Chains A and B, each alone.
Chain A
Amino acid sequence: MGEYSVQELTSILAMQGFAGISLFSVLLLMALGLAIIFGQMGVINMAHGEFMAMGAYTTYLLSVMTQTYFPEFMNYYFLLAIVASFLVAGLFGYLTEFVLIRHLYKRPLDTLLATWGLSLIMQQSFRSIFGAREVSPTLPDWLMGSWMPTDTIFIPINGMFVLALTAVVTIGVYILMFRSTWGLNVRATTQNRVMSGAVGINTKQVDRLTFALGCGIAGIAGAAFTTIASTGPTSGSLYIVDTFMVVVFGGAASLFGTIASAFTIAQAQSILEFFISGSMAKVFTLLALVIILMMRPEGLFSIKVRK
C-alpha cells in the first residue's frame, strides 16, 4: 500500500467506521418496531416490512403534495413526513390488531400465516395505488451530499440523519417502556397476562397500543430509508429477513439485546465486506449467526424466567 498517504488511509478508516455505525443505526431502526411486537407480544409480524413501505409511501405522497401545493416548504416537509408516517402506519397497525391479530393470540404460529397474507395484500395494494415502478420522494437539499470535516473525509448527511433519528426513537422507546406507567403495564402483560388483568390492567387496550406503536416505528423507519434506498411495492420484503435476524439474535424480549445484536451484526458485516466481496461477507455473517444461535438459542440477551 505504498502509494497511499497516511492521511488517506486514516480518512478511509474513519469513513469505514462511519459505514459500520450507519449500518448499525439502519438495522436498529428496522428492528425496534419488531422487537416491541415480537419481543413483547410474541406476535410474528411478517408484514413488518410492509408497514415500513407504508411509511415510505406516506413520505412520497407528502413530498409530491408539498411540491405541488407548497413548494416553499420543501425544506421542512421531511420532518412532518416522519410524524405522518408514524401516525399512518400506527393507525393501520391499530386496526390490524383489532381486525386480525387479537383473534390469534392463542395460536402464535397462525399469526405468522395471517400476517404473511396481510403482507401480500399490502404489497399488491401499493402496486395498485402507486404503480409497480419504484418511486423516489424529492429530498430536501439539507439531506443531500456529505459533510467534510477534512478534505478527504466524506460523511454522508443522510447517514447521520438516520443515526440521529435512531437515537431519538430508541431513547423514546426506552422511556416509554421502562419509565412510564404504560410501559409498566406492557411489561406486566407480557409476563403474566391473567394476573395483569386481575390487577386492573386493560390488557386488550395494552395489546392494541403496543402493536400500533411497533407498526408506527416501522413507519418511521420506512420514512427514514427513503433517504438511502428505494421505495417500491416490494421494498418491505428486502428488510424483513435482516429485521428478524437482529431481533432473534438479540434475544426476543430484550431491548438491549436488540441494540447489541444490531451493533454486532452491522460491524461484522461492514468490516467483512471491506475485505472480501459483498456476497461472501453476508454468507460469513449468517454462518456466524447460525453457529451462535445453535449454542445460545435464546439469543444474546434474554430475560431469565423460571420454567
Chain B
Amino acid sequence: MSYFSRRKFLGKTGALISAMVAAGFITSTAIAADYPTAEVNTTGLSVTDDTVTVGILHSLTGTMAISETGAQEAEKLAIKQINESGGILGRQIKIIQEDGASDWPTFAEKSRKLLVNDKVAAVFGCWTSASRKAALPVFEKENGLLYYPTFYEGLEQSKNVIYTGQEATQQILAGLDWVAEEKGAKTFYLIGSDYIWPRTSMKIARIHIEKVLGGKVVGEEYKPLGDTQFGSVINKIRLRKPDVIFAAVVGGSNVAWFKQLNAAGITSDKQTLLTLSVTEDEVLGIGGENLEGFYSVMKYFQSLDNPNNAEFVKAFKEMHGEDSVIGDVTQAAYLGPWLWKAAVEKAGSFDVDKIVEASRTGEIELDTAPEGYVKLHPNHHLWSKTRIGKWNKDGQATVVYESELIEPNPFPEGYQ
C-alpha cells in the first residue's frame, strides 16, 4: 500500500492502516466531489465522476509473453489495491488491456488505439526497448503518459515516459564495483545476446572496467538471439581465464547458456559470474541447480527482507497463485500505478502536462515500495538501490550486497 508524500505521516503506521484500508474500515479521504470532473480533466481524457480509465499494454502472446506476464499481473494487482483503498481522486480505476503480441509495430498501433480511441489517462506497458521505441512517437504525438517497467540501456528521457526500472549505469556500475572490490576481480569476459540492450550495457561496462576500475576486458562476445549452442564460447572463456564472466544473455539462449556452463564444469566454486539478465522469472526456465552460487545484479529480489515486500509478495501470490514468482521487472511494474497515483494527487488533476510537472518536482516518492524507498528524479527515472543476489538451488536469491540510493543518470558522461 502506498501513500503520496503529502500524507506521508500515514506511512508511519503503515502496516496497520493498510490492513484496515484493505478491510474497508477506512475509505479514502479524497472523494470525487472535491475534485469536479471538469477541473481535473481539461484535455478530454476518459475520466467520469466516479471512474478513470487506464491502459495496460503488454505482450500476452508471442515470444515476449514469457517475460511480460509478470509485469501485467503486478500492474493489475497495484490497480486493484488502489481501487480497494478508495481509488484516485475518489475515482475507481478501470483497465483496458491490449496485447502487443511481441510485435513492435503492434505496440505502436495499440498505443494509438488506447490514446486516441479510448482516451486513457495513462498506459502501463512495454517491456523490450524495441517495443518502447516503437510506441514512443505515438505517446509524444498524442501527449500520452507511459509507465515503463524494464531495466534498460538508458540514453532516453521522454517527457511522456516515466521509467520505473533502472537505467544501465545504476545497475552496471554498482555491480562491477562490487565484484572488483569484493572478489578482487581484474579481468572480465563480457557476453551478451546480439541486440541494443546488451551491446549498450557492455559498452558502458567496458569503459568502467578499463577507465575506472583499471581492469582488463579479455573477451567480448555477442550471440544471435535464440542461439542455443555455447560450446565454443565456453572453451574460449576457459582459454582466457577471466576473473569474472559478466553476462547479459536473454530469452531461450539464457537457459541454454547456464545449462551448458554447468554441464561443462564451470560452476560457482571455480568461477565468479555476474549477470544482468536473470531474475526469478528466468530462474524458472534455467533451473536453480544450474545457477547456484552465481550472482545477479538487480534492484529487487523476491527474497528482500522488509515489511513492504512481505505484504507485496503475499498479495501477489493471493491474486496470481502460490507458485508465481516475482522478478525485478514485475516489482518495477507494480510501482507504475502507485507513482501515477502519487503524481495525480500531487497535481490534483489527470491532465498529462500537470502530472509530468508534478513528477518533475522531485517530490514524488513511495515509502511503501516493495524494493524499499524510491523517489522520482526530475529526469523521469527513479532513485533506487542496487542489490547483488546470490542464487540458491530453490530459485531464490540471497541478497549479499545493497548499495545506497543511486541517482539515475540516463545520459552518463564519459560512458557513451
Contact = CB atoms under 8 A, between A and B. Distances in A.
B336 to A, nearest CB: 20
A290 interface: no
A136 B285 contact: yes
Interface residues of B, number: 42
B323 to A, nearest CB: 10
B284 interface: yes
A133 B285 contact: yes
Contacts of A133: 66, 69, 281, 284-285
A229 interface: yes
B235 A15 contact: yes
B361 interface: no
A146 B265 CA distance: 6
Given A144-B263, A145-B265, A146-B263, A19 B235 contact: yes
Contacts of B234: 19
Contacts of A154: 264-265
Nearest to A158: B263
B97 interface: no
Given A270-B232, A279-B223, A229 B65 contact: no
Nearest to B287: A136
Interface in A115-150: 124, 127, 131-136, 138-139, 144-146, 148
B403 to A, nearest CB: 29
Given A133-B285, A146-B265, A156-B260, A278 B233 contact: yes
A234 B234 CA distance: 25
Given A132-B66, A282-B227, A157 B255 contact: no
Given A132-B66, A282-B227, A15 B238 contact: yes
B236 interface: yes
A136 B284 contact: yes
A69 interface: no
Contact of A230 (B220, B228, B233, B238): B228
B61 A124 contact: yes
Interface string B335-356: 0000000000000000000000
B69 A156 contact: no
A54 B181 CA distance: 47
Contact of B224 (A159, A227, A234, A278): A278
Interface core residue of A4, A134, A232, A279 (most chain B CB under 10 Å): A134
B61 A127 contact: yes
Nearest to A152: B238
A145 B269 CA distance: 14
Contacts of A35: none
A270 B231 contact: yes
Contacts of B62: 234
B262 interface: yes
Contacts of B158: none
A26 interface: yes
Contact of B262 (A16, A145, A230): A145
A222 interface: no
Given A26-B229, A159-B263, A279-B223, A229 B284 contact: no
B264 A134 contact: no
Interface string A266-299: 0001110110011101100000000000000000
B109 interface: no
Contact of B231 (A157, A159, A282): A159
A154 B265 CA distance: 6
B256 A228 contact: yes
A23 interface: yes
A235 interface: yes
B54 interface: no
B259 A229 contact: yes
Given A146-B265, A148-B265, A228-B260, A134 B252 contact: yes
Contacts of A146: 263-265
Contacts of A4: 239
Interface string B218-247: 001111101111011111101100000000
Nearest to B286: A136
A301 to B, nearest CB: 24
A156 B227 CA distance: 18
B118 interface: no
Contacts of B287: 136, 138-139
B72 to A, nearest CB: 11
B293 to A, nearest CB: 14
B65 A127 contact: yes
B284 A135 contact: yes
28 contacts: A16-B235, A19-B231, A131-B69, A136-B285, A139-B287, A144-B289, A145-B262, A145-B263, A146-B265, A154-B265, A156-B264, A158-B259, A158-B263, A228-B256, A228-B259, A229-B252, A231-B285, A232-B252, A234-B252, A237-B226, A238-B226, A238-B227, A238-B228, A269-B232, A278-B221, A278-B232, A278-B233, A279-B223
Given A132-B60, A134-B284, A277-B221, 17 more contacts: A4-B239, A12-B239, A19-B235, A132-B69, A148-B265, A156-B260, A156-B263, A158-B259, A228-B260, A230-B256, A231-B285, A232-B66, A233-B65, A234-B63, A270-B231, A279-B223, A281-B232
What 3 A-B pairs are tightest by C-beta distance, nearest first?
A: A134-B285, A19-B231, A230-B255
